[in-house]
Structure 1
Amino acid sequence: MASKFTLLILFILFFLLSDFFIPSDQSPTNSKQTEFFAVLKKSLSGDALSDWNLTKKPVCNFSGVACDDRGLVVGLDLSGRSLSGHFPPDVCKYIPALRVLRLGGSNNFLDEFPHGVTNCSVLEELNLSFLYLQGTLPDFSAMKSLRILDLSYNAFRGNFPISVTNLTNLEILNFNENGNFNLWKLPENISGLTKLKTMVLTTCMVYGPIPRSIGNMTSLVDLELSGNFLVGRIPAQLGLLKNVRQLELYYNQLFGEIPGELGNMTALVDVDMSVNQLKGTIPETICRLPNLKVLQLYNNSLSGEIPAAIEESTTLTMLSLYDNFLTGQVPRNLGRLSPMLVLDLSENNLSGPLPTDICRGGRLLYFLILDNSFSGELPQSYGECQSLLRFRVSNNRLEGSIPKGLLGLPHVSILDLANNNFSGPIGDSIANARNLSELFIQSNKISGVLPSGISRATKLVKIDLSKNLISGPIPSEIGNLKRLNLLLLQGNKLSSSIPDSLSLIKSLNVLDLSNNLLTGNIPESLCELLPNSINFSNNMLAGPIPLSLIKGGLVESFSGNPNLCVSTEVKSSHKAISNFPLCSKPYNRKKLNSIWAISISLMIFIVGAVLFLKRRFGKEKKVIEHDETFSPNSSYEMKSFHRISFDQREIMEAMVEKNIIGHGASGTVYKIELKTNEVVAVKRLWSKKLEKNYSPSDYDDQLILHKTLKTEVEILGCIRHKNIVKLFCYFSSLDCNLLVYEYMPNGNLWDALHKGWVSLDWPTRHQIALGIAQGLAYLHHDLPRPIIHRDIKSTNILLDVNYQPKVADFGIAKVLQCLGAQDSATTTVVAGTYGYLAPEYAYTSKATTKCDVYSFGVVLMELITGRNTVEDEFGDNKNIIHWVSKKVDTREGAIEVLDKRVPGSFKDEMVWVLRVAIRCTYKNPVLRPTMKEVVRLLIDADPCKPFNSSSKSSQKINDNINDNITMNKDTGHDSDVEGPLSSQPVH
């Protein structure tokens, strides 16, 4: 009997332990694993899974898969693999031992949170970052083993999952950039997460006070609560967090004084409490922190002096205190002991001399002290600061000459010395400024001539040298500045004629040469430019005003030139030019005789030169009378994105001068009617055939053009939206690049608004606004990766036959990359157009979707007011946003800015949409709406439906405006209103 019982026991034990004798690849669990990966491979697509072959190797050998000693899958990492398709929801039903699941970054296989993941009871790490997931989140309470939960960069909505406070093993909690949650408060029991080292709740709709209990979370190393709606005082209990290295509370509504107890956080490296309502002095205890590298307190109401202890720091790299009420002098030795990268003290009441050793460490990138009362001369050491990227000292009391070398620093992109008392000439060193994008020296006492070497700073986009004592001619070489967007030289003593070479600057948008001593004719070639703003008034110009400039509505720009005149036929058809005399016949004969004399002299010179060369070299040089790159027989790479009914030859043969309809910053545009009666627009990108002795800058330009083509083709080729211009195909060779688009018969929005060819009623303007918004919302929210256009302006909005808008010109657009997104959107040169640029982009060159929202808001203001973005009425260095914000404090003021040409009674709707435009142009990018929200707001204001100004959405936007109406009041920081760390700090 005992032996039978023993055998029975042995049998049961064998049965229970039989799994251990089954080979691992044949166990039921491993069979389920194989089944899961077969389903996963079938569900997903992407080259990254090419090594997943179930017939040749076990799943444990697949890339991205980790197994334990028993062959059980414990880790699955598919992050950053550019995969698409569908991810199976019940992953832990098949892989019960899974401890690590990483799906985030550069993938597109999820729409909502995979709720089945909450059944993964042993899961320790879940990373779904950068997937832009929507929908609501589940209860996480069952996932007791979780140590890392990273759901950053998504778009979850509904209630925030407070259940995460039950996950007592959490070490990292990251919900960064989830701005669609309902408002929620940090609970007191958050302190129960005693193992938490990283808590990132940035931009995820947290409101209310910071609980004092956070002081008990002593394991914290990284605490980030920025971009929310936190109120109240900063709790002194934060000083108990001795291990915190990074403390970020910026972009909230915190008030009161900064607790001195924060000086007890001796591990602190990075402190950012900017854009709040903090007052009082800067605690000296913080300035004495032994490891402090970054201190940012900008845009608060702090007062008093900068603590002298800050100059003793040996670690400080960034000090940003702009837009406060600080007084006194800057500590004289600031930067002597520490390797400074950024110093921004702008918009305070600081005075006295500037620190001489701020660049002693040789790493300084940003030096920004504008809008203070600094005096004395610029230290000569500033001219040797080779690392500088931005140097802004405008609106102070500085004097003396500009240090030798400062204007020619090799990396500097912005030099702003405006509104001081600088004297002396602009040095020849400007020729070395190969990366200079913006040069502002207006309203000083600069004298001498404008050096021709400025033409070698070929990356210049903006030049403002107005209101100085500059004399002599405008150098003809200025036409080499092909990227120039703004040129302001008014109020000097410039003499001689206007150079024809200005017509070569196809991107020129604002040109002001008024109040000088310029003579001669207005070059006819300038008619090719027709910038948004032009001013030649109060000079000594003579001769006829070019007809196309008159048609462009720019007549007032020629006043104060007694010798300018107009022809009889022009005067009879344009009433606005009644103040100008008729051009006399003697003048015309004199002009004709001059032309004949010049022509004959030129012919004699050419004939003599040809004979000389023939004798000298024994052969004639062939004169090429056409552009070889236009040959229909040339070899081109061609790629189409839609079905087309034309070929390369038909396009090439039609690219003749009579079909040219415009010139842009990147090329010439042709209107071509095909044999099928279809009409297309062809953009030929500017190019330059490289000669044997080409210069490095020629080669750089060629690379830029190819990059521009590639960018526009890659973006537009994959886009399908009714409000995005359609790209049919492209032709590309070494010397000629062509893009073939659908043709828009009603031109661009700027012409429609400002040239007076048509009268757009409000329903049409609203239709245009809504269409643009829908196109941008598609780019920002409906693609696997958001696309930032970066140059939204009225000239880049094309209108079809029914005035439906289409966003065009993606030559400088940027596709945000999932990984390394903070760097991917950064450029060294500011792109975009003056008057439309978001302040933070002009400051940091960091493009975000909120930059496009800002530019759209400017276009919206154009639609509502009918005004240009830049007009003399707005004031020096002021734009339409400043003008509107000064008017809309009252309803009467808001009515006043509406375009008087708009027929019908839509004032309430227009004012309401104007308030949408104001929200879009807030200086603080966090407060701007998304383009999806803008679309909803514009739909609510449909003029074809009954308008209810007391509706919930109307009331919401009115409350928003009333609370923030001063956000756009100009504070003098010009394009730098938000500072270098506007939407995210630079670390």
Structure 2
Amino acid sequence: MTRREVQCKQISWKLIPFILWHLTCFSLSASVSIAATSDMRLLLTFKENLVDDEGNLGNWRGSDSSPCNWNGVICNSTTKTVVGLNLTSQNLSGTISPVICKLRSLTFLVLKDNLFNENFPLSILNCPRLIHLDLSLNYFGGTLPDNISSLSSLQYLDLSYNSFSGFIPQNFGELSELQFLNFWNCRLSGHIPPQLGNLTKLTNLSLSYNNFSWGSLPCELRNLQKLQSLKCGGCNLTGSLPPWLGELKELDFLELTYNNLSGSIPPELMHLPKLTKLELYNNLLSGSIPREIGNLSSLTDLDLNSNLLTGPIPAEIGQLSNLGLLHLWNNSLSGQIPESLAYLQGLYDVALFLNELTGIIPQHLGDNCSLEIFDVSTNHLTGPIPPNLCNGGRLWRFILFNNNFSGIFPDSYGSCHSLIRFRIFSNSFSGVIPNGLWGSPLMTILDISNNLFEGAISSEVGKATSLQTLRLQDNNLNGTLPPEIGQLSLLNALSASRNKFSGVIPGELGNCSALTYLYLDSNSFIGQIPPSLGNLSRLVYLDLAKNALSGQIPSSFGSLQSLISLDLSVNQLSGRVPVELGKLKLTEFNLFNLSYNNLSGVLPFTVSSGNFGFSFAGNPGLCVPGVSASPSCSNGVILESIAKKTKHPGAMAWITGTILFAAVAISLVGSYCFYKRVKIFYMEKGLPEVIWTVIPFQKLNFREEEILESLDDDNVIGSGGAGTVYKATLQNGSSLAVKKLWSCPKGEINHDYGFKAEVETLGRIRHVNIVKLICCCSSGETNLLVYEYVPNGSLCDLLHGTKGNSLDWPIRHKIALGAAQGLAYLHHDCAPQILHRDIKSNNILLSSNYDALLADFGLAKLLESSSLEAGYSMSTLAGSHGYIAPEYAHGLKVTEKSDIYSFGVVLLELITSKRPVEPEFGEGVDLVKWVCRKIQTKEGVVAILDSKIPGARQQDMLLVLKLALRCTSVFPSTRPSMREVVDLLKQADPNRQSTDKGKAQTHSKA
């Protein structure tokens, strides 16, 4: 072999590894390409079974070389095979195809927050490599599969916020690799299976908010020695807290809220070294807080609110060096707040209100921590306030009302610029308010009412540009109202009644365009009423009584079209009443009072004697025709005219006497004629003669007899548990609705069938979506409520009558939104808050344009601010079957969440056209339960939607269905507020673009 041949041979041997490497790379590349192509085909087949109305999978195209850049697709960076799908919030529905499990490398599948409404997708059970499965926030129904154990590699399983039925199968206890298991709000029933105790690798277990059978936690769960989080709120747990929970030494989060757990808190729970959050609120726990609580060295959150706990707050809580949140409110705790709290450096949220605590607040509290929330209202605390509660500069909620605090308020709070809510009313504080406090830039509520404060309002108040509520009444404040107050463009309520303010009312106050309530009565203001107050177009209540105001009533008040209460009495106002006041609906006022001024001339508009008989007293020169409490028009006008023509005193006296005699005679004759007219009316009707008292809330353009004549069987348009409703057709062609309440049976003298509640609520509020109460009439034995007549009747009549099928979805949505806006007004914009307590389709009236008006306030309750957190405890159950919230039915405690539940039922009526209770549902099953069961059937959620609704789009209706299910959640804490309901209904408007609907779906997560 030649040298050249040897060299070539050597080179060829050296090339072999290089050639082999390239061949391997080519083979791998070909393999990757084949795998990618295969996965792409499978995904396209998977897509074919989905409904993608929003086009969120639009970039899944067969022309691509790989699916790795597709929306929601996760690939292995090396092999380019599909290892995961994350299709969260894509508005997808349809069927989960079995082809999904042919993706050989699939380990991660997330279909969270979509519109899938089939039964549990059994096809997924053929994905043996699946490690992570999330089906939460959908409409999956049916029973959970018995053979779930085929997913033997599963470590993470989230089925929360679906509508499954039946029990949790015992087979779930065979998922031996499972570490995370979430059944939150799945509508499951039966008992919690003890087999879950076999999941020894489990670190997170959530069973909260299911309709489990009453009972205790299975003791087998004590085997979950790796468990870090156990959540079982709202699981119908009864009995005592199991001491074996103290054996779960890895436990970090224990939540057993909204149950019926009773008895004392076992000391064994106080030996969990890693526990950071202990939440046991809304139970029936009694006894004292164990002193061993000091052993929970890792604890950051302690929430035991709304139980029956007694005794003192143990000083050992001061040993919890990591404690940040301390909620012990709404119990019966007594004794003093322990001094040891002052040494907790991480403390930021302290809520101890609604207890029986006494003594003083530890004076060093705040020295060592940065408090954000401090609420000790409604206790029996005394003494001074610690000077350094805002030492960390983060305090935003400072609530001390309804205690016995006294002394000078510390100056240090003047530099607490983080404050948002400052409510210290009903105490005995004295001295002056720190200057800087007036101008806190973030402050929304400043309430120092009912104290002994002195001094003036600082001009710094103009810097409080976020201020919405300023309550100063019942103090000894003095000085003038600074003109800088006009810079508060967001100010909604200003109450400065019963102080010692003086000087003029600043005209700048008219710049506060958001003002709804303005109370400046019982002070020493002088000068003229600023005409600029007429710019306050949102003003509902205006009280300037009991001052020393002079000059004329501003004609600009005629622009205050929202006004329902005006009190200018006991001042020194003079001149004529401006004709512009006639533009206002004066008889809508709860209060219209011009008495005890120096007004003169003829009242330039007509009022009713029965309404305002004493509103004009004390004005010797004012003539009010037809009102007996005012001087006669002869005195007020004729004498004034004659006086200009004669100066002879004798003639003047003779004329005066003659006119007075004539006035008396005319008055007697008029009274006799009126008496005869009423008497004849009653004689003709065969009725006993009675005297009626009329209290108006709107302008009256009819006579009493017209109302009484309507009380005839031919005019009946409805009847209910409180009385009969009649239609009154007036002589002017308009109509009214008259509700005659049942007479009170003997022995029930306190039962007025809602008369007082209707007057207290409808008489003081005004909203476009709340029916107008025109007036009320009472004869002592019979009460009448007179409303505006609403031509389309109630939603119930229309929806469940012959015309129900003609209501298309846009009209139904309009009705839902209108009713929601009315209820949101009661909950959020009324002071005090109003709970309706009888929301149902019968009590939603419809105008000719299908505007919804809430009606029937006979069960309404005014909820004072001090009761907002704890709700209102009732002695008896009231409401309508099918609409009553579970917590109200069981515990007789009503909050705004009870109204929201009832409204959710109305939404379901609009969606399904079913009544709240139907024979087809079965015994003991209402509309809410029926909907939940139907969702779990093979037909799924679409079967619930009323197919007869003209012009309906399922997508629009499904958005409202999801909201309805949130509103009717078994547990109040998971229901949205009415403000949120209004926002979500607006986003679900069928006239909005589809992109907006997608956003609504995203924001309507349960």
TM-score, normalization: structure 2?
A: 0.60
Q: 1:55 aligns with which of 59, 63, 69?
A: 63
2:52 matched to 1:44? yes
Moved more, 160-169 or 304-313: 160-169
Q: 1:297 aligns with which of 288, 310, 328?
A: 328
Mapped contact 1:747–1:799 kept (Cα < 8 A)? no
Q: 1:73 aligns with which of 61, 73, 82?
A: 82
Question: 1 CA distance for matches of 2:868 and 2:252?
Answer: 45
Mapped contact 1:257–1:279 kept (Cα < 8 A)? yes
1:310 to partner: Cα distance: 1.1
Question: 1 CA distance for matches of 2:397 and 2:767?
Answer: 41
1:568 to partner: Cα distance: 7.1
2:401 matched to 1:378? no
C-alpha distance after superposition, 1:50-82 (max 9, x if no partner): 5433321323443433344655533221224x4
2:463 matched to 1:463? no
Question: 2 CA distance for matches of 1:481 and 1:772?
Answer: 43
The aligned residue for residue 748 of structure 1 is 768
The aligned residue for residue 863 of structure 1 is 855
Question: 2 CA distance for matches of 1:290 and 1:344?
Answer: 21
Mapped contact 2:283–2:307 kept (Cα < 8 A)? yes
Question: 2 CA distance for matches of 1:799 and 1:97?
Answer: 46
1:285 to partner: Cα distance: 2.6
The aligned residue for residue 134 of structure 2 is 127
- 1:608-757 matches, within 5 Å, as 748-750=768-770, 752-754=772-774
C-alpha distance after superposition, 1:116-136 (max 9, x if no partner): 445544433233344476665
The aligned residue for residue 937 of structure 2 is none
1:290 to partner: Cα distance: 2.0
1:446 to partner: Cα distance: 0.8
The aligned residue for residue 831 of structure 2 is 835
Mapped contact 1:165–1:193 kept (Cα < 8 A)? no
2:188 matched to 1:171? no
The aligned residue for residue 369 of structure 1 is 400
2:623 matched to 1:582? yes
Amino acid at match of 2:82: V
C-alpha distance after superposition, 1:408-464 (max 9, x if no partner): 011111111111111111111101101111111211111111111111121112222
2:913 matched to 1:932? no
1:333 to partner: Cα distance: 0.8
1:940 to partner: Cα distance: 14
Distance 1:582 1:837, change over 3 A: same
Question: 2 CA distance for matches of 1:513 and 1:771?
Answer: 46
1:221 to partner: Cα distance: 2.2
1:370 to partner: Cα distance: 1.5
Distance 1:360 1:569, change over 3 A: closer
Amino acid at match of 1:547: G
2:548 matched to 1:517? yes
Q: 2:467 aligns with which of 436, 449, 456?
A: 436
Mapped contact 1:390–1:415 kept (Cα < 8 A)? yes
Q: Secondary structure at the match of 2:388?
A: coil
C-alpha distance after superposition, 1:859-884 (max 9, x if no partner): 999833479998xxx9x9899999x9
1:385 to partner: Cα distance: 0.7
The aligned residue for residue 181 of structure 1 is 211
Question: 2 CA distance for matches of 1:344 and 1:47?
Answer: 50
Mapped contact 1:129–1:150 kept (Cα < 8 A)? yes
Mapped contact 1:395–1:418 kept (Cα < 8 A)? yes
2:271 matched to 1:240? yes
- 1:807-956 matches, within 5 Å, as 807=818, 832-835=828-831, 837=833, 863-865=855-857, 922-923=894-895, 925=897, 929=901, 931-933=903-905
Q: Secondary structure at the match of 2:371?
A: coil
Distance 1:98 1:486, change over 3 A: farther
Amino acid at match of 2:901: P
Mapped contact 1:223–1:248 kept (Cα < 8 A)? yes
1:229 to partner: Cα distance: 3.9
Mapped contact 1:534–1:557 kept (Cα < 8 A)? yes
Amino acid at match of 2:132: E
Question: 1 CA distance for matches of 2:867 and 2:798?
Answer: 21
The aligned residue for residue 407 of structure 1 is 438
Question: 1 CA distance for matches of 2:872 and 2:325?
Answer: 34
Question: 1 CA distance for matches of 2:441 and 2:295?
Answer: 42
- 1:480-559 matches, within 5 Å, as 480-531=511-562, 533-536=564-567, 538-540=569-571, 541-542=573-574, 543-544=576-577, 546-549=581-584, 551-554=586-589, 556-558=591-593
Number of aligned residues: 709
1:146 to partner: Cα distance: 3.4
Listed as ranges, the gaps of 5+ residues in structure 1 are 1-18, 593-745, 775-781, 784-796, 815-829, 840-849, 895-906, 957-987
Q: Secondary structure at the match of 2:305?
A: coil
Distance 1:556 1:291, change over 3 A: closer
1:807 to partner: Cα distance: 0.5
- 1:464-479 matches, within 5 Å, as 464-479=495-510
Distance 1:809 1:184, change over 3 A: closer
C-alpha distance after superposition, 1:762-806 (max 9, x if no partner): 9979965769999xxxxxxx99xxxxxxxxxxxxx9999xxx886
Question: 2 CA distance for matches of 1:199 and 1:90?
Answer: 33
Question: 1 CA distance for matches of 2:335 and 2:329?
Answer: 14
Mapped contact 1:171–1:197 kept (Cα < 8 A)? no
Distance 1:79 1:526, change over 3 A: same
Amino acid at match of 2:131: E
Distance 1:90 1:437, change over 3 A: farther
2:44 matched to 1:64? no
Q: Secondary structure at the match of 2:422?
A: strand
Listed as ranges, the gaps of 5+ residues in structure 2 are 1-26, 187-208, 617-621, 625-632, 642-765, 778-783, 801-807, 846-851, 930-1006
Q: Secondary structure at the match of 1:495?
A: strand
C-alpha distance after superposition, 1:443-497 (max 9, x if no partner): 1111111111111121112222222112232222112111222222232223333
Mapped contact 2:529–2:553 kept (Cα < 8 A)? yes
C-alpha distance after superposition, 1:387-426 (max 9, x if no partner): 1111121111111000111010111111111111111111
Question: 1 CA distance for matches of 2:39 and 2:66?
Answer: 13
Mapped contact 1:375–1:396 kept (Cα < 8 A)? yes
1:539 to partner: Cα distance: 2.3
Q: Secondary structure at the match of 1:494?
A: strand
> Percent identity over the alignment?
31
Question: 1 CA distance for matches of 2:890 and 2:558?
Answer: 34
Give the structure with higher Rg (CA).
Answer: 2
Question: 2 CA distance for matches of 1:765 and 1:231?
Answer: 53
Question: 2 CA distance for matches of 1:500 and 1:66?
Answer: 68
1:307 to partner: Cα distance: 1.6
